[in-house]
Structure 1
């Protein structure tokens, strides 16, 4: 009895398969960006906070809203067996993304001297872009793990036949 395994999909096929996920990730992320920028703007202009404090506050609020979107819309079909682990990893990788974003903003303000509100918004956009790529890779790889795909019926039958054949050899001895 021979078993065949399906060939691994090419990189192009895998990227095509990810396109829907990327679009949904973008929608959730865009809503988080809107929340992030609104809170950032309010903190700077309404509350008079410094840019880095405003960025941290805005990013923390956006992280909370994004988790809800990712867990209950984008990755709702993913393994949710260990929510404590998932939330911990989400917060760790989101925090790392926030450090990336805040680092770009800090470099812009304190190293390059770009401290007008428009320059800060531009630096925040660059930091968000870099942080978003990092978050996408880390969330899909470690936080919201895919459930194992169910075995094809033919594969299950082939495995069962192999198991039975090996048992028959044992009894024949």
Structure 2
């Protein structure tokens, strides 16, 4: 297996990212489950309100873990840009999660605590997680751009480069 992954560094990188993403996600998921169920059971919030607030707490945990661990080797494109895109992509993930919850509660009529957890915290989180991983890798924490050289041919990387702005 090690030889296989050595020959395929992009696959090895993907597997490493998936492991880190899964670990961060597991912590954020535990936080989300605890917060959501606390808001439903102790505070008495409705199913969708509790789901939104619990998920917002988990999003904060996930941002820190993904920015500084999962995608630590990726290009830094600015804290504001990354935060905005992270929140935007999590908003879409949350809509996926809420869509599953809404369908279960208001279409299927399954509004008990177990049904709410399965719809929102299993099916919804699962589908939202697939979207989040893809969007984080692609847009939020993109790969650094490849180095650009202006000279061509063998040894071009060692050749001196002229500044095109000077004449």
- TM-score of the pair, normalised by structure 1: 0.79
Pick closer, same or farther for the CA change 1:157–1:70 going to 2, 3 Å: same
SS at match of 2:72: coil
Q: Can you give the 5+ residue segments of structure 1 that lack an aligned partner in the other structure?
A: 1-11, 165-173
Distance 1:32 1:157 in 2: 49
Instruction: Give the counterpart of 2:39 among 43, 46, 50.
Output: 43
Count of aligned pairs? 150
Q: How does 1:72-91 map to 2 (within 5 A)?
A: 72-91=68-87
- Tell me by how many angstroms 1:131 deviates: 0.1
Q: How does 1:81-120 map to 2 (within 5 A)?
A: 81-120=77-116
- Tell me by how many angstroms 1:140 deviates: 0.5
- Tell me by how many angstroms 1:161 deviates: 7.5
- Tell me by how many angstroms 1:83 deviates: 1.3
- Other-structure match for 1:61: 57
Q: Deviations over 1:30-54 (max 9, x none)?
A: 1111011000100000001001000
Q: How does 1:84-163 map to 2 (within 5 A)?
A: 84-124=80-120, 125-148=122-145, 158-160=155-157
Highest RCO, 1 vs 2 (Cα 8 Å, sep ≥ 6) = 1
- TM-score of the pair, normalised by structure 2: 0.82
Distance 1:160 1:29 in 2: 41
Q: Say whether residues 1:21 and 2:14 are aligned partners.
A: no
Q: Can you give the 5+ residue segments of structure 2 that lack an aligned partner in the other structure?
A: 1-6, 162-167
SS at match of 2:18: helix
Cα RMSD for the two superposed structures? 2.4
Q: Say whether residues 1:70 and 2:66 are aligned partners.
A: yes
Pick closer, same or farther for the CA change 1:160–1:16 going to 2, 3 Å: closer
Distance 2:70 2:153 in 1: 30
